Structure 1
Amino acid sequence: MRIYITRHGETQWNKKGLMQGWKNSDLTEKGIENAKRLGESLKDINFDVIYTSPLGRANETAKCINGNKDTKIVLVESLKEMGFGIWEGMENSKLKELYSEQYNNFWERPHLYKPHENGESFEELLLRVKTAWNEILKAGGNNILIVTHAVVLKTLYMILKNLDLKDLWNPPFMKDTSLTIVEVIGNKVKIILEADTSHLE
């Protein structure tokens, strides 16, 4: 079983430096173009199914990658981005100013991060990402595509590499439409490509 994993394309909020999360922001022209380029690079792969976060930016990315193919796209609630509550839609620079301790914890000491009002903790996120991953493995298939978000991707890396939460932000950085490929044989999981962006060159 080979699982291809990507992050959604660039969004309007990415471009403006705003915190995303469960709130959605549309893809930019660049985001759409890059997703199509990833789709072109994967055109010879026959995916059994595409699992995507239900958030518009991920779902649209999945459709761009799928192109004219009739591969089934399945929305998976537990693949949506981490929830940031009242932080969502705010400028990152403003968050750093108003919530400096927890904002810095989020990026530098994730094991100490405590979410603000209506936000999601890393522990909650980890639980649902594990659930999503196990359900995808259980469903099986030969070639699977997952379209999700940066923090979900890093959390999945943490699971696959058996990392501690404090090491969440270890390289690589998950750029928009970067591609990671995971091979699953029995109980063995091997990452064979990490955060590749060669389709954008």
Structure 2
Amino acid sequence: MKLYLLRHAETEWNREDRIQGQMDSPITREGEAAIDAMAARLASVPFDCCYTSDLMRARKTAEGLLKSRAVPIIEEEALRELPLGPWEGMLFKDILKDPLAQVYLNAPDAYHREGLMDFYDLYEKLSAFLMRLETSDYDHVLIVGHGVSIRALYHVMEGVAVKDFWSRPIAAPVGLGICNYEKGTWQVLRRADAEDGLSY
């Protein structure tokens, strides 16, 4: 089985370097163009299905990538972005003034907000998602998620601990990653990391 993993297209808040979390903002014109270009690039891949976060920016990216293709699009809660509470809607530079932001970025294993999902919860949800995929008979699966959820998916596959979450940058918008599952083992074949691992 091959997974084709993509982060959603650039949004207005991405351009402003504003935290989205589980809030949303419109996809930019450049983001739409990137979706069209990637759709053409993936046109020959015979996808069995597509799993997408149910947040608008991911769902619209998935729909644009598949256009009129008869590929089922399934909303998957595990692929949602990590909720970031009062930071959502704030500029990234402004959250850095919050001491909890230093925990989030430098000690993710200690990051927690009461009543909200943390990195451990995200790993657990994505582990369960991968286990369901492993029992399927799919050959080619398209996955559309978010910077943090896609990075977490790679880490779950490779056994990277939560404390080392930020050891690599998050994916670039509409960046294509490819993973393979064979004989009970996941392998990350390709990443599409952003150059700047801190901005959103």
Structure 1 length-normalised TM:
0.90
Name the residue aligned to 2:105.
107
Q: Closer, same or farther in 2 for the Cα pair 1:118/1:13, shift >3 Å?
A: farther
Unaligned runs of 5+ in 2: 195-200
In 1: Cα distance, 2:185 partner to 2:53 partner:
25
Residue number among 137, 142, 154 corresponding to 1:140 in the alignment = 137
Deviation of 1:109 after TM superposition, in Å, equals 2.1
SS for the counterpart of 1:34 is helix
- Where does 1:1-201 land on structure 2 (aligned, <5 Å)? 1-97=1-97, 99=98, 101-115=99-113, 118-195=115-192
How far does the alpha carbon of each residue in 1:7-65 deviate from its partner, in whole angstroms, 9 at most, with x for none? 00001111112111111112111111111211111111010001100001000000111
In 2: Cα distance, 1:3 partner to 1:111 partner:
27
Cα-Cα RMSD:
1.7
Structure 2 length-normalised TM:
0.90
How far does the alpha carbon of each residue in 1:112-156 deviate from its partner, in whole angstroms, 9 at most, with x for none? 2233x6542111111112122222232330100000011111111
Deviation of 1:193 after TM superposition, in Å, equals 1.4
- Which range moved further: 104-113 or 121-130? 104-113
Contact conserved, 1:86 with 1:119, CA < 8 A, in 2?
A: no
Partner letter of residue 146 of structure 1? I
Unaligned runs of 5+ in 1: none
Q: Percent identity?
A: 27
In 1: Cα distance, 2:158 partner to 2:169 partner:
12
Q: Deviation above 4 Å: which 4+ runs of structure 1?
A: none
Partner letter of residue 90 of structure 1? M
